[in-house]
Structure formats: C-alpha cells, structure tokens
Structure 1
Amino acid sequence: MQIIDSGLGNGFQNLTEGWRRKIAGHLRLAILLLGLLSLVWTNNAYSASKSILVLGDSLSAEYGLARGSGWVALLQQRLKAENIDGSVVNASISGETSSGGKTRLPALLQRRPDIVIIELGGNDALRGLQLSATESNLRAMIGAAQQAKAKVLLVGMRIPPNYGRDYTEKFFSLYATLAKQNKVPLIPFLLDGVADKPELFQADRIHPVAQAHPIMLNNVWTGLKPLLAK
C-alpha cells in the first residue's frame, strides 16, 4: 500500500506540475497577445484618415506670412510627424467675420470633413458688432457642422479693451458659453503665450509673426488631438 500510495502521490505531483507548466505557458501567451493587441490598438487609434476643415480669419490665413509658415500649414506637418493620416483644408479668409463664415460653411461641409475648427469672431469684436449676433452666428456654425456629423473644435479669442472692459469680457466669455452649451471642446485663447510678447507681432501689432505660429499650433493641438483619436 505504501508503494501504491507513493506512486499515486508522485503521479499526481507530476500531473500537477505538468498542468502548472501548461497554465504558465498559456498565461505567457495570453500576456503576449494582449500586448500585441494593445500595440495594434494604439497604432490604429489614428489609422482612419481624418479630414480637417479650418474656418478662420487672418490669424489662420497666413496674413503677412510666407506661404506654408502659418499654424494651419504647420498642422499638416504635425499630422505627418505624428504618423496620423489626415488632410487639412484651410478655408480661412483675412477679414472674415462670423457672418461670412456662417454663409460659407454649408458649401464647405459638402466636402464632408470629419473635424471642423472654427476660429472666428475676432473681426466682429474689432468692429464693435453686437455680441448677440456673433454668438448666434457661431452657434449656427457649430450646429451645422454637428448636423453634418463633424466634430467641432471652437477656438476662442481675446481683444484689446478698446470697447470697454464689459464688452471685452463678455466677448471672451461667449466662447466658453457656446462650448458648454453645445458640448464641444474649446481652445480658450488662440494667442495664449503670444499676446503678451510684442516681439511676436508684425508691425500692425495685430497679426503674429511666423515664430508665433508654432505656439498657436500647440494651443490648438491640445484640443484637436483627442478628436483625431475618436
């Protein structure tokens, strides 16, 4: 009986060790597969080609700059550097108002962009236009883009206090209001990190020089990159 018991004990022990080795092997394989799947998912997060429409004014239209040095052109380069398959259409026009953008947007949406970046309203404020009209136009553009199944990134702006503190602050805050109400991401201030540096502006003290545009792109990129991964 002792011999039989000993044999059975050794047999069970050997069987258990065998199963342990098999289980350990399967676990290693599972971990390896999970790692590979994670890597594939990460690479494919940006794999679907994205089309980006930028609807802006002179700050996005390379006013006073050499072609290809504005933040929108730099955005195309950033996409390539990040291995993100995407194309950028710059529909920005110097002097554009929110009313002009609202008028032009329906035709632009026929291109079926995946993402629409709206950078408008600054010229409205510089002309002292009614804030209610600017807000209404921006709201209409956001709604039109969303109805066309595009993601929206709203880019805010600040203006000098020429028209008084009340007007200036209400203008700035309308972007946050629109972003919250329409559930879209917001870049609070396109010129953040630029506006307080006079050397980064052209002689008109309104339009940034080329050296400022990488900073502007970085500001936009913080809100754009998450949209590209969705």
Structure 2
Amino acid sequence: MAAFSGVWSRVSYGGRAIARKARSGILGPLAGVALLAAAPVTAQDTAQDTARNTAGDAARTRILALGDSLTQGYGLAPEDGLVPQLQAWLEARGHDVRIINGGVSGDTTAGGLARVEWSLSDDVDAMIVALGGNDVLRGLDPAQTRANLDGILKAGAGRDLPMMLVGLPAAGNFGAVYKAEFEAIFPELAAKHDTLLVPSIFAGLGDPSDPTALRGLMQDDGIHPNAQGVTRIVKALGPEVEALILRAEADPAG
C-alpha cells in the first residue's frame, strides 16, 4: 500500500472546504504531498504577509515564492515552513535575501494567475513559481494548467524578473496521455520563458516507491511534509535558488 492512501483531507474549492479522500492513486506517493489544506489562506492574508516580509528589506534581494500549501507552510510552526527554512539556509550561506511567502493553501494555477499581478510588487527582484499540484488532484485539463502557468510567467517576464519554475510528477491515474501532457508543461515553459527549472519539488524526499522511509518525513495526515521533510526539500531546492539569486544580482534593476 502506498504511503498516503486512505487519508481524509479538506480541500478548498472556490472558498468551500470539501472533505475528500486523498489516495495514493490520485497523484502518486509524492505528487500529492502538501497540496491539500484544511483551510485556505485568503488573498488579503497573502498581501499582508508580503507587506510584512518586504518592509525594511531595501538592501536585500527579494524573491516572491508563488505557490500552494507547501509554500505556505501548512501544519507547521512558523519557523519550520518552506519559506523560513529556505531563507535560513540561504542566509547561512551568506546570501542577503528575503523570500516572500506567496503560498495559498489549496491554490491552483488559476488562483496563482489571478493574484500574480498584485503579488509582484515593485520591490520584487525574482520569482519562484511552484503551482500545479492541485490542478492534477482535480484532474484539470493540462492545456488549462499550461495556459495559466504561461500567464504567470508572462507577468514576471513583463517586469524583466529572473524566474524559477518548479514542477512535480503526475501519476498515471488519468492515463498515460494526461501524465505526459502535464509533465511536459514545466520544461517546455521553462525553455519558452528562459526560466530556471526544478523538475520536481519532491526530489529531496527520496525514493517515492519506499513509503516506509517517506512516512517519517510526513505530518500525521500523511499528506504534508513535517519539519524534517521540509528540511530535505530545502536541501535539494536551495542550490537552485542560489542560481536564481545570481541571476537577480546580475540584473539588479530588474
């Protein structure tokens, strides 16, 4: 039995929290990690968080992390979320950087597209885009996911921002064609917009075929990574973000 089968979670659908069963067959052992959330974070919450994170950081490289519950840090103490851990990792390596938490639990690529313009405040120097998992969870048309992500990246390109696109795998539950179409989105859009590419945000968690090993990296819901799991993700993701920082520092005017 896969690591995350048989777990009931609450998913935000247009503001309604709907209980559904998250089975390993929906997205596979890793693709569903951290994409569900018990309660959505509102756009207002994210705007306020952005304002708090950017205040007083004039000397820093500011990177917007546009994502879902994994980016938001669902179920974790504030210091254990992806954004705080990533920033601490980068600062420990000497980077003067501020990662702005643009994560909204349960968000799809459509939600990201709807809020990217106002999320990209004038003092943002670069952007990480980590969306798409909830699109797969809901079985949304990959063509629409592609269009939404394309729109998000166009918004960043319109501001001449260095960007990094973070992908994830899709399981074969919707068929081989769906899986291939979805997974092709990330490398193709990264090439189109000349962004850095991380093929899978879950690569740092290890072998997805070993549910026993993964269990120790999950919260009690079996879906979201615990603090140790996030640390593993950050260890793999951090060097890629360093490359993004180099791009931003090479063109500080944006």
TM-score of the pair, normalised by structure 1: 0.74
Q: Quote the Cα distance in structure 1 between the aligned partners of 2:122 and 2:235.
A: 26
Does the residue aligned with 2:164 lie in a helix, a strand or coil? strand
Unaligned 5+ segments in structure 2 are 1-58
Q: Quote the Cα distance in structure 2 between the aligned partners of 1:87 and 1:169.
A: 35
Shift of 1:82: 1.6
After alignment, is 72-81 or 51-60 more displaced?
A: 72-81
Aligned residue among 214, 220, 223 for 2:237: 220
1:80 is the counterpart of 2:97: no
Unaligned 5+ segments in structure 1 are 1-47
1:166–1:204 Cα change, 3 Å? farther
RMSD value, Cα? 1.6
After alignment, is 195-204 or 94-103 more displaced?
A: 195-204
Letter matched to residue 233 of structure 2: M
Alignment of structure 1 residues 20-99 onto 2, 5 Å: 49-99=60-110
Match of 1:198 in 2: 214
More helix by share: 1
Alignment: residue pair count = 183
Shift of 1:136: 0.5
| Superposition misfits of 4+ residues, deviation over 3 angstroms | none
Q: Quote the Cα distance in structure 1 between the aligned partners of 2:117 and 2:145.
A: 18
Q: Quote the Cα distance in structure 2 between the aligned partners of 1:159 and 1:215.
A: 21
Alignment of structure 1 residues 77-226 onto 2, 5 Å: 77-194=88-205, 196=208, 197-199=213-215, 200-226=217-243
TM-score of the pair, normalised by structure 2: 0.68
| Aligned 8 A contact 1:114 1:149 in 2 | no
Does the residue aligned with 2:63 lie in a helix, a strand or coil? strand
Shift of 1:138: 0.4
| Aligned 8 A contact 1:156 1:175 in 2 | yes
Q: Structure 1 vs Structure 2: percent identity of aligned residues?
A: 34
Q: Quote the Cα distance in structure 1 between the aligned partners of 2:239 and 2:89.
A: 12
| Aligned 8 A contact 2:80 2:230 in 1 | yes
| Aligned 8 A contact 1:198 1:205 in 2 | no
| Aligned 8 A contact 1:68 1:74 in 2 | yes
More strand by share: 2
Q: Quote the Cα distance in structure 1 between the aligned partners of 2:181 and 2:241.
A: 25
Letter matched to residue 218 of structure 2: F
Describe the superposition over 1:81-112 as per-residue Cα deviations: whole angstroms up to 9, x where unpaired: 12211112101011011011011010011243
Greater relative contact order, per chain length (Cα 8 Å cut-off, separation 6+) = 2
Q: Quote the Cα distance in structure 2 between the aligned partners of 1:157 and 1:203.
A: 22
